[in-house]
Amino acid sequence: MTTKPATEKVFQGIGVSPGVAHGTIYVYKIADEVVPEYEITQEQVPQETDRFEAALVATRQQLHDLQERIAAGVGSATPSSILDVHLSITEDPSLLEPVMTRLNEEKKNVEFIFNSVAQKYIQTLADMPDEYLRERAMDVRDVTDRVLRCLLGRQVRSLTNLPPGTIIVAHDLSPSDTSSLDRKNVVGFATDVGSHTSHTAIVARSMNIPAVVGLRDASQHVHDGQVVILDGFSGSLVIEPNQQTQFVYGQLAVKRHSVDERLAELRELPAETLDGHRLALAGNIELPEDMPALVAAGAEGVGLFRTEFLYLTRRDFPSENEQYEKYAAVARAAHPHAVIIRTLDIGGDKFRPDDQPAEVNPFLGFRAIRYCLANPDIFRTQLRAILRASADGAVKIMYPMISGVGEVRQANEILQDVMADLRRQGIAFNADIDVGAMMEIPSAAMTAEMIAQEVDFFSIGSNDLVQYTLAVDRVNERVANLYDPTHPAVLRLMRNCVEAAHNNNIWCGICGEMAGEPLYAPLLIGMGLDELSCASASLPRVKEVIRRLNLSEAQELAAATLNATDSREVLAMLNALLQRIDPDLTG
């Protein structure tokens, strides 16, 4: 019997999370959220009523199907009891009756009327003091989305209910998509847009799964169910690989597996140079679910917990208790090491579902500490939750997007006030909690001496520091060639931060993506950074470099790179050193 050979097709993008995944494609299409609004005649009212009823029936059918799949053990992130609640919402008179009344009165298309009734209902629930009712707002929203998709004939694509071995191919994945996806069964991501420091890349590295971004229009040329190899090292996405490609990848997998096995042996060993200089090598997480991979990789605690991912999948804000439980769970999982909890860094390329950017330049806009200082209730709730978790484990606080000492003082005043409240209420917390500032804006790096007097540590956010220093949007692939972490200006600002920290007897770490690149590790060590924090996927490789290096040679290298006038010179030095230390880690 002869089988027809599959036609292989290769798309080339940027490999942003190491590893090779073999799996089956699931094309994720984001539904267009715009709900049309138009007038109808009196004669069209019955027709609109019929469309609405048909959409409700279809929604109920979808919910029943989902319940059956759960009962059959196919699994879903949504428990069956929640689907019961969703089913009851499709029959709720307080939602359905106003739709019929307004349809007759206003004579507009039914999706517009339904959406406006539902949004009002959601808002009323979201404003309720009772937590149970507030949570129902989420359920009504989910049902509303389903009904609207049925009315508009849009495909329902979910990321929460996927078969094992799924490789998601999408134009883009928003932070709310990645926070809600089925982590068990997804083995890789591929997106048309994005860069090394975009959130999709960051999340893939934290989940320890391979990813490729910047594939231009690949998502339009593939379909569900195709067999694929995703190479997170080289950035290739190979559709329907032929036998020869499979053989080549098989050979590579054997080689990489032996490198991984060699690196896995470093797990329990300290991040220490050959001449005995000890560094802290911590990990970055986006969600508590990232902790097992981090612990397995041998991280010494969490150097960056990007807490905004707890806020991105929902329309309401997580309560103090919910946050406390998550922070305390992470602190327990990290024990005996510490967890640096970064306060909410929303904005830039991370938005809540209803807060899409109304700004022309969101990275220069209402983001991170600016948002928190302008929304003290949201900020105070988070600080209370973090402080409470500081009674359960070693927890530190870090403020993002600090542009100068004034913001640190303002944030610290609020922190002191929150501490005073907790004391009055007899709630336990660590009053000596360490507070740090992210150094990711040039104005902060240039005034690091002043900021160092107000905090206990610095952590360099190189992803933003590079973007703001060089005026290169970190997520825009059109200027990705200008995004240059070894530019002399960036290196000088980083050196400023380290020197200011050490002059003031505080430590300085780095938690941007630079910290996870084996290539940069010798430079960072030589510059005097005390802690490197990176995603679990990158950690063993970085530890390997640290352990094969002398501090003295790293310091010589750092001095030489700081004299270089052009980043190509710097990269040549770094490449030569890595090639000598461990050629398996190059490329």
Is there binding between residue 561 and ligand PEP (CB under 6 A)? no
In the range 510-529, which residues lie near ligand PEP by CB under 6 A? 511-512
Q: Kindly report the length of the chain.
A: 587
Burial pattern 181-214, b for ≥16 Cβ within 10 A else e, equals bbbeebbbbbbbbbbbbbbbbbbbbbbbbbbbbb
In the range 18-47, which residues lie near Mg ion by CB under 5 A? none
Handedness of CA 179, 182, 184, 188 (dihedral sign): negative
How many angstroms separate the most distant Cα atoms in the chain?
A: 86
Is there binding between residue 513 and Mg ion (CB under 5 A)? no
Q: Are 510 and 504 in contact (CB under 8 A)?
A: no
Q: Of 214 and 461, which has the nearer Cβ to ligand PEP?
A: 461
Stretch that binds ligand PEP, among 159-167, 290-298, 441-449, 460-468 (CB under 6 A): 460-468
Provide the 3-class DSSP secondary structure of residue 256.
Answer: helix
Is there binding between residue 473 and Mg ion (CB under 5 A)? no
Q: Residue 155: exposed, middle, or buried by beta-carbon count in 10 A (0-12, 13-18, 19+)?
A: exposed
Is there binding between residue 461 and ligand PEP (CB under 6 A)? yes
Closest approach, Cβ 511 to ligand PEP, in A, equals 5
Whole-angstrom distance between the N-terminal and C-terminal Cα of the chain? 42
Closest approach, Cβ 288 to Mg ion, in A, equals 20
**Contact string (CB under 6 A) for ligand PEP, positions 117-156, x = contact:** ----------------------------------------
One-character DSSP codes across 26-46: EEE-PPP-PPP--B--GGGHH
**Contact string (CB under 6 A) for ligand PEP, positions 322-351, x = contact:** -----------------------x------
Question: Is 199 marked active-site?
Answer: yes
Provide the 3-class DSSP secondary structure of residue 160.
Answer: coil
Q: Of 279 and 465, which has the nearer Cβ to ligand PEP?
A: 465
Residue 462 interacts with, from Mg ion, ligand PEP, none (CB under 5-8 Å by kind): ligand PEP
**Phi and psi based region of residue 376 (left: phi greater than 0; alpha: psi -120 to 50; beta: remaining):** alpha
In the range 416-445, which residues lie near Mg ion by CB under 5 A? 440
Question: Is 508 marked active-site?
Answer: no
In the range 290-319, which residues lie near Mg ion by CB under 5 A? none
Q: Where are the alpha helices (DSSP H) in 17-107?
A: 45-71, 80-89, 93-106
Of 289, 237, 200, 179, the closest CA to residue 21 belongs to 237
Of 171, 199, 337, 487, the catalytic one is 199
Q: Of 304 and 490, which has the nearer Cβ to ligand PEP?
A: 304
Closest approach, Cβ 514 to ligand PEP, in A, equals 8
Stretch that binds ligand PEP, among 67-75, 114-122, 455-463, 564-572 (CB under 6 A): 455-463
One-letter amino acid at 106 equals E
Q: Are 256 and 21 in contact (CB under 8 A)?
A: no
Cα pseudo-dihedral 497, 503, 505, 506, rounded to 10: -10
Phi, psi (5° rounding) for residue 282? -110, 180
Of 150, 372, 497, 511, the catalytic one is 511
Q: Which of 214, 461, 522, 528 binds Mg ion (CB under 5 A)?
A: 461
Q: Of 177 and 464, which has the nearer Cβ to Mg ion?
A: 464
Is there binding between residue 352 and ligand PEP (CB under 6 A)? no
Stretch that binds ligand PEP, among 8-16, 372-380, 445-453, 461-469 (CB under 6 A): 461-469
Q: Using the 8-state DSSP alphabet, how is residue 150 labeled?
A: H
Q: Which of 48, 192, 300, 440 binds ligand PEP (CB under 6 A)?
A: 440
Order of strands across the sheet that contains 14-17: 9-12, 236-239, 227-231, 20-28, 166-170, 186-191, 211-213, 14-17
Q: Of 109 and 198, which has the nearer Cβ to ligand PEP?
A: 198
Q: Where are the alpha helices (DSSP H) in 265-319?
A: 291-296
In the range 109-138, which residues lie near Mg ion by CB under 5 A? none
Closest approach, Cβ 511 to Mg ion, in A, equals 9
Kindly list the residues in this chain that would bind Mg ion in the complex (CB under 5 A).
440, 461, 464
Q: Which residues are catalytic?
A: 199, 511
Kindly list the residues in this chain that would bind ligand PEP in the complex (CB under 6 A).
304, 306, 345, 440, 461-464, 511-512
